Amino acid sequence: MRKLLAFSGVDPERLLLKWVSSAEGPRFAQVVTEFTEKIRILGPSPLADSRTAKQPTAGMASEAS
Amino acid sequence: MIEQVREHVRKLLTDGQISAFLGLRNQDGNIAPHIFEKPEDLDEGFTLGDVEGRPPARYPLAKLLMTIVSADPDKKFGILVRGCDERALYELVRWNQLPGAAYRFVKVGFACPQELADEHECRKPFPDECVAGEKAQPVMNASVKEIDAKALPERLEYWSRVFDRCVKCYGCRDICPVCFCNVCTLEENALIRTGDLPPENPIFHLTRAAHMAGRCIDCNLCTEVCPAEIPLRTLYKKVAEIVQEDFGYVTGEPGDAKSPLNFLGPDPGHTSAHD
Amino acid sequence: MTGNQKEEIRIGVFICDCGSNIAGYLTMQELVDYARTLPNVVFVQENLYTCSESGINEIKQAIPTHNLNRVVVASCTPRTHEPLFQSACEEAALNPYLFEMANIRDQCSWVHMREREKGTERAKHQIAMAVAKAARLRELSRIELGISHRAVVIGGGISGMSAAMALGNMGYEVDLVEKQEKLGGLLNSLNIVLPANEPSSRLLHDLAARISANDKIIVHTSSEVTKAEGYVGNYVVTIREKSAENRVKAGVIIVAIGARALKPEGLFGYNGKSVITHLELEALLKQGAPAAKNVVIVQCVGSRCAERTYCSRICCMTAVKNSILLKEADSRNKVTILYRDMMMYGVENEDMFRKSKELGVRYVAYDPAKLPQVGEDFVKVYHQRMGKEISIPAELVVLSTPLVAQEDAANVSSMLKVPLNENGFFLEGHVKLKPLDFATDGVYLCGSARFPATIREAVSQGLGAASRAAIVLSKEALFTSGIVADINTETCCGCLGCVDVCPYGAIRFVEEKEICQVNKVLCKGCGGCAATCPSESAKLDGFSSEQIYAQIEQAFAS
């Protein structure tokens, strides 16, 4: 997905997939905090203005248990 | 060349090795897929797709075979195959869309002329076995590299521009020889809002691209039919490249390798806590 | 499917204070007021403890009084409390799958303890998400299954024997399968068990005698489990005894295959004669104390290193125990223990440690960067306090090696489809909430197969696994979860995409219809098929795309 996004011109850093076990609370918090920080630095999605009604394309952190 | 193919098919039909042959027929200058049932039918309009002054006409014959085979479960069919048709057949067999494939159809292969291979930048312009035709040189398509050479914002600008031309005719999907689902995600309102024109950019096209992972056999039919001239093939070629890099899987090859998205990686349950 | 689609949706929301666990950190009144504004919500109530008897009663009363057809509880984790609330719904004649939970404790009040406003805001979002999903819930049904009231215990060591004994005493039939010729496992090689101060053989014989006297327990020695099929309540286990193969029906399986002591080939001059392991020392002690006057014991040999990062937990106690026995055999014996960290947890072990010091056992800490050197009749070690290398006379060197996973652990793992950790030990369902269960229902684990355990721990884990297993065995029937996958027969194109993705082998291709079909008994509701299906024909009941999209939309709505 990241490679496809990059090819389409979307910064692949905007997508994150991480396996976090349900027993790893602190790690989950860390992953989410780091990622939200990163997104904040990257700024609004370049796709956001084309569909103003929609929310910006945020990332996705997946939780597995 | 056409004579060799015609006579080969005639023999298959006469000997009763096949009950019918799925090929192309020229009727009043229009070329369309046709089921030839009797040997004598072959004398009327049988064609390999050539039309004067134009590149030969192609159709997703493999996809048609899928329908024909399930409608007539007792018959064995012959099918006209180019390199791309054969790749589609391999993929459809893998996805179980031609059940009992081995004894359900006979391929009648022929090599495409260099002119056609060049036109479609075909990676393998001939099937594994050819009844007729000189094998043309494979041609590599460089469009992926061209995009790769662009910077991120340029890529986005490029794709946004071409995707915005989309009239959502679903032609890319309908012509696609490996699009066989009965219901299509592209028409799922919750994922891609229906009613928008152009369809949600880039969600519509990226969704289709994701579904082409491990499936697209690089026949170029989608790009050929697209009325808006969207270079879809480039997008799907990139997806194929990713699948090959990450999973070592190449579509459209014989054998019983599984499409990489259709099985679990390590043994079930063995997930690691560390990524 | 049900008539609910046309019926007016009436959602009741119950918001739990959890004492001060939630109410202490979030503004509850704000949540209550907010919940009232949500679509389809007709009733909102705040409870001091929704899970208490009065809280449960309030749910049960509200359902008929307010004609609720959906219930949302905003409280703690569904993992522990969802079944309770579901049964409350069921008792009030509401299908338990018309219930949804929002975890505003773990995900709001706990993580945003010092951010009341943000935490409250977040809780609103989660309640809105749960309500959005609840509105789209459909009635689901469970399938009733008969069960076999019989257990198979794999491994006849101390933990397996304890588990078998416990189940046998409860009146369940047990097949106890041991690979070796006799029961006992590692216990056979041990000498004296401290702090009980009893020969291990006594413990072993006593337990073995009680097992053979129990006519519910069938012991299979020199046997192996070669195959296991089926699911909780209805496993079919193939046991190979000598050359004969037997298939037994079992409701549950307990994995107690233990561990083995690492043979430290190539480490510290190990030769099995003057440099030996504790197991070898115990064999010598059984026959009477060894002649050596000077004994050096080296801890952490082959563990806590790059190759095996874990601490084997039991070697410190073993070393202290054997040092005491050597000292007690002859007080003139000089015993030195070279250690990295002494772990002697618990009062009795601490007493044992103190006793060894009183008896004159000498402890020298070594630095893993400067490993002790074993010579002909001495051990050289860098003494960190003195800041120099010292040489300790030693006719006998004992190496404390870790327990490592059994060689056939990987086979058992793939046979039962239960996971191993990176060291080859079995991985429990959850380190705290399910320490003796696997994620796979009906399969349990105990003893050193899970991680190196003392005898006492192995016994208590064996008993624990037996009681977990008895929860299944004591039932007359089991009900499958309603959360199972379903494949739309109209739209499935039979591409087999889902078949190999299913980790439970629950999907099969139906030739005649050319479609794939889910066996709802085997399905564990993981959703893998729904994710992989190219045409959205496979869906997971209770987690349909529609429901999930509705939740996502709410999560982003501001």
- B27-59 per-position pLDDT tens digit: 888 899 999 998 888 888 889 887 776 778 889
DSSP state string for chain B = -HHHHHHHHHHHHHTTS-SEEEEEEEETTEEEEEEE-SGGGGGTTEESS-BTTBPPP---HHHHHHHHHHHSTT--EEEEE-HHHHHHHHHHHHTTSSTTGGGTEEEEEBPPPHHHHHHHT-S--S-SS-SBSPPPPP----HHHHHHTS-HHHHHHHHHHHHTT-----HHHHH-TT---SS-GGG-TTTS-TT-SS-STTHHHHHHHHHTTTT-----HHHHH-TT---HHHHHHHHHHHHHHHH---SS-SS-PPPGGGS-SSSTT---S--
CB-closest option in A4, A11, A50 to B201: A50
Cβ neighbours of B210 in A, within 8 Å:
1, 4
What SS3 state is found at C160? Answer: helix
Instruction: Mention every residue, 6+ apart, whose C-beta is less than 8 A from residue C493.
Output: B97, B180, B181, B182, C515, C535, C537
Torsion, Cα of B9, B11, B14, B15 (10° steps): -120
Burial, C473: exposed, middle or buried (Cβ in 10 Å; 0-12, 13-18, 19+)? buried
> Which residues partner with C145 through β-bridges?
C478
Taking the CA of residue B32 and the nearest CA in chain C, the distance in Å comes to: 26
**Architecture (CATH level 2) of domain C481-541:** 2-Layer Sandwich (3.30)
What is the Rg, in whole angstroms, of the alpha carbon atoms belonging to chain C? 29
All CATH 3.50.50.60 domain ranges in chain C, comma separated: 150-260+404-477, 263-401
Q: Which residue of C has its CA nearest to A57?
A: C556
Please tell me the predicted confidence (pLDDT) of residue C272.
92
DSSP run (H or E) holding C529: helix C528-532
Residue C195 has pLDDT above 80, yes or no: no
Torsion, Cα of B34, B40, B44, B50 (10° steps): 60
CB-closest option in A23, A55, A58 to C431: A23
Decide if C298 contacts C398 (C-beta within 8 A): yes
Interface test with A, best of B154, B156, B196 (most A CBs within 10 A): B156
Cα–Cα separations (whole angstroms), residue C315 to C278, C327, C455: 9, 18, 12
Q: Is B245 on the interface with C (CB under 8 A)?
A: no
Q: Is C495 on the interface with B (CB under 8 A)?
A: yes
Give the pLDDT band of residue B102 (cuts 50, 70, 90).
low
ipTM above 0.90, yes or no: no
Q: Is C513 on the interface with B (CB under 8 A)?
A: no
Average pLDDT of chain C is: 93
Sign of CA dihedral C447, C448, C451, C454: positive
Tokens of B73: 């479960």
Verify whether the Cβ–Cβ distance A9 to B272 is below 8 Å.
no
Please tell me the predicted confidence (pLDDT) of residue C511.
85
Verify whether the Cβ–Cβ distance C536 to B271 is below 8 Å.
no
Please tell me the predicted confidence (pLDDT) of residue B270.
37
Which amino acid type is present at position C302?
G
* Nearest Cα to Cα of residue C312 among C464, C457, C487, C98: C457
- The side-by-side arrangement of strands in the sheet containing C396-399 is C275-277, C396-399, C294-298, C334-339, C362-365
Give the model confidence (pLDDT) of C10-19 as tens digits. Answer: 999 999 999 9
Length reported for chain A: 65
Mean pLDDT in residue range B186-196: 83
Cα–Cα separations (whole angstroms), residue B179 to B175, B260, C246, C334, C499: 8, 17, 48, 80, 19
Residue C2 has pLDDT above 70, yes or no: no
Q: Is B264 on the interface with C (CB under 8 A)?
A: yes
Taking the CA of residue C516 and the nearest CA in chain A, the distance in Å comes to: 26
CATH 3.50.50.60 fits C263-401, yes or no: yes
Decide if C87 contacts C60 (C-beta within 8 A): no
Give the model confidence (pLDDT) of B173-182 as tens digits. Answer: 999 999 999 8
Decide if C270 contacts C398 (C-beta within 8 A): no
User: Hunting for tokens 């799958």 — which residue is that?
Assistant: C97
Give the model confidence (pLDDT) of C389-429 as tens digits. Answer: 999 999 999 999 999 999 999 999 989 988 899 899 999 98
Most confident range (mean pLDDT) of B58-72, C165-179, C185-199, C482-496 is: C165-179
Cα–Cα separations (whole angstroms), residue C380 to A43, B32, C51, C270, C401: 62, 90, 63, 15, 19
- Cβ-based neighbour number of residue B91 at 10 Å: 23
What's the distance, CA C381 to chain centroid? 40
Mean pLDDT in residue range C429-454: 92
Give the model confidence (pLDDT) of C63-76 as tens digits. Answer: 999 999 999 999 99
Give the integer Cα–Cα distance in Å for C245 and C223: 9
**Phi, psi (deg, nearest 5) at residue B69:** -65, -40
DSSP run (H or E) holding C209: helix C200-213
Cα–Cα separations (whole angstroms), residue C548 to A49, B211, C245, C541: 26, 20, 48, 11
Give the model confidence (pLDDT) of A8-62 as tens digits. Answer: 888 888 999 888 876 677 888 889 999 999 999 988 888 765 544 444 344 344 3
Please tell me the predicted confidence (pLDDT) of residue C5.
53
CATH 3.50.50.60 fits C150-260+404-477, yes or no: yes
Residue B140 has pLDDT above 80, yes or no: yes
Residue B156 has pLDDT above 60, yes or no: yes
Please tell me the predicted confidence (pLDDT) of residue C165.
97
Residue with more model confidence, C90 or B132: C90
> Which residues partner with C218 through β-bridges?
C175
Please tell me the predicted confidence (pLDDT) of residue A55.
40
Q: Is C545 on the interface with B (CB under 8 A)?
A: yes
Give the integer Cα–Cα distance in Å for C530 and C68: 30
Give the integer Cα–Cα distance in Å for B15 and C84: 72
Taking the CA of residue C313 and the nearest CA in chain A, the distance in Å comes to: 22
Decide if C504 contacts C473 (C-beta within 8 A): no
Cβ neighbours of B272 in A, within 8 Å:
19
Verify whether the Cβ–Cβ distance A10 to B156 is below 8 Å.
yes
Tokens of B79: 């099918």
DSSP run (H or E) holding C309: none
Give the integer Cα–Cα distance in Å for B241 and B111: 25
The share of chain C scoring above pLDDT 90, in percent, equals 80
Give the integer Cα–Cα distance in Å for C186 and C191: 11
Give the pLDDT band of residue B265 (cuts 50, 70, 90).
low
Which amino acid type is present at position C445?
L
Neighboring chains of A (3 or more beta-carbon pairs < 8 A) = B, C
Q: Is B197 on the interface with A (CB under 8 A)?
A: no
Cβ neighbours of C556 in A, within 8 Å:
55, 58
Cβ neighbours of A55 in C, within 8 Å:
556
Name the DSSP letter for residue C69: S
What's the distance, CA C417 to chain centroid? 14
Long-range CB pairs of C48-55 (<8 Å, 24+ gap) are C48/C16, C48/C17, C48/C19, C49/C16, C49/C17, C49/C18, C49/C19, C50/C14, C50/C15, C50/C16, C50/C75, C50/C85, C51/C16, C51/C75, C51/C76, C51/C81, C51/C84, C51/C85, C55/C14, C55/C16
Residue C173 has pLDDT above 80, yes or no: yes
Verify whether the Cβ–Cβ distance C556 to A55 is below 8 Å.
yes
Give the pLDDT band of residue C3 (cuts 50, 70, 90).
very low
Give the integer Cα–Cα distance in Å for C163 and C445: 10
Range list of H helices, C287-380: 315-329, 347-358
Please tell me the predicted confidence (pLDDT) of residue B141.
81
Tokens of C303: 């563990």
Of B49-53, C42-46, C456-460, the least confident: B49-53
Give the integer Cα–Cα distance in Å for C35 and C127: 7
Give the integer Cα–Cα distance in Å for B275 and B181: 33
Taking the CA of residue A37 and the nearest CA in chain B, the distance in Å comes to: 20
Please tell me the predicted confidence (pLDDT) of residue C441.
87
Mean pLDDT in residue range C245-267: 95
Q: Is C291 on the interface with A (CB under 8 A)?
A: no
**Architecture (CATH level 2) of domain C1-140:** 3-Layer(aba) Sandwich (3.40)
Give the model confidence (pLDDT) of C274-319 as tens digits. Answer: 999 999 999 999 998 788 899 999 999 999 999 999 999 999 999 9
